[in-house]
Structure 1
Amino acid sequence: MTTFDTPFDTAETDRLLTTTRSVRRRLDLTRPVPKAVIEEALEIAVQAPTANDQQNWRWLVVTEQDVKDQLAELFDISWQFHQKEVWTGAGRRRNVPQARRNNASAAALAESIAKVPVLVIPCVLGRPPDIGAIDAQWGADPRVRTGRAEHGEAVEGVRIGAMRASNFYGSIFPAIWSFQLALRSRGLGSTISCMHLPFERQVGNLLGIPAGVTQICMVPVAYTVGTDFRPAKRHAARERTCWERWHA
């Protein structure tokens, strides 16, 4: 009998959480990924928290080679522009070994994206909030003006647009991360890429995604070459954590 009130094996869950890497160069481009595995991982993903229980995510899974070839062409254009505008202007960061490795890893994905067995595009129904327009509407609301008059500084400068944007993206990224964790636990690797988004309209036309739906990113999925992933080098959390008040 299955029970869900027993403690987790924290050593195993911590290993999963600390070794789920962005996998680009170690994707097995030759091994097929069964449809059932993707479906299992997505069922786990949709258990993630979502603002107001909207569950307004959608998942578009691409496996057809001719479609992946077309996506790869757009991906490459964005990657070349990114290289020119971002990496070549990165100055001293280009000489940091980790930065060079990350750049080489991203370049390898750009070269092989058409060969990745599965490309998943997480989407959200609706369009991203216009923070400026929402703030303007908020500030013009008579209730806000009244509150400003009555409470002065307590209301002055209050905005709501950033909260709406946080809700919009915060309702999908926990599910994307859960998807990646579920893949990792099944021996698959993934990464989050946004290289196709400059061509969101063209990709939407190619895949039949309505204009009112927002494509959030692309997640290439494949089995991994080897499983010996380790925790990344990170600054200790205690070095970047403030208690009670912000301090440098």
Structure 2
Amino acid sequence: MDQVVKELNTMSSDFHFQSILVIDDDFELSEMLCTYLKSMGYQVQVCNDGQEGLSEAVSGKHYDLILLDVMMPKMDGFDVLKKLRASHSTPVLMLTARGDDYDRILGLEMGADDYLPKPFNHRELVARIKAIVRRHNIAATGGGIEQDLFVNGVHLSPASQLAKIDDVELTLTTTEFQILRLLMLNAAQRVTKEEISLKILGKPLQAFDRSIDMHVSNLRKKISAVAVDEKIKTIRGVGYMLIIGSH
């Protein structure tokens, strides 16, 4: 096990703390996946039945990828995928003990991004995850050019690294810009300090670390200098939220 974790750590240098939802009723496998993926810097959430997994997948939390088992109690993977695709485009990699062509084709037809039969090699799993997320990100940003964001009077242009409020340009540091971008991408949803630390600062949030609070405080001051209404709301003890409209 230690050797596996060591190998995975050496493969993790180009990962950016992505978030993965594992939906699988195999408790032992789920625990192993958590160990593998967390050792690489991934954030991992586990659900052990289909209904719970679907609820988590559509809860509003951001997941870069879902690992979805086929055979599960309460709701199988195909039903989960069907309901998920009605409203969400989160990438899905299906896992199953049945590796026949029928299941593979059915899963792909229903919207799965890829399919991997159990048992699988951990290196192959990681390679599949990396490839799927890369493809999804390229598609979502129009071939690598991220689209401008417009939320509650805030205009942010990732391509030019410019931020404006009602046509007044904000002078932001790189960290402030990236925090604002993350909040805008998750407008009206809370973004935890842990998520900000991982995705923006590239490190886990440490106890008594006030760096995130300071960055947000500076960002707020720059916004309030040109905006008449509040843009960023504090979720006490959790993190922050970008407000969609005036409150």
**TM-score normalised by length of structure 1:** 0.24
Instruction: Specify which structure has the bigger relative contact order, considering alpha-carbon pairs within 8 angstroms and separated by 6 or more residues.
Output: 1
**TM-score normalised by length of structure 2:** 0.24
Which has the larger strand fraction? 2
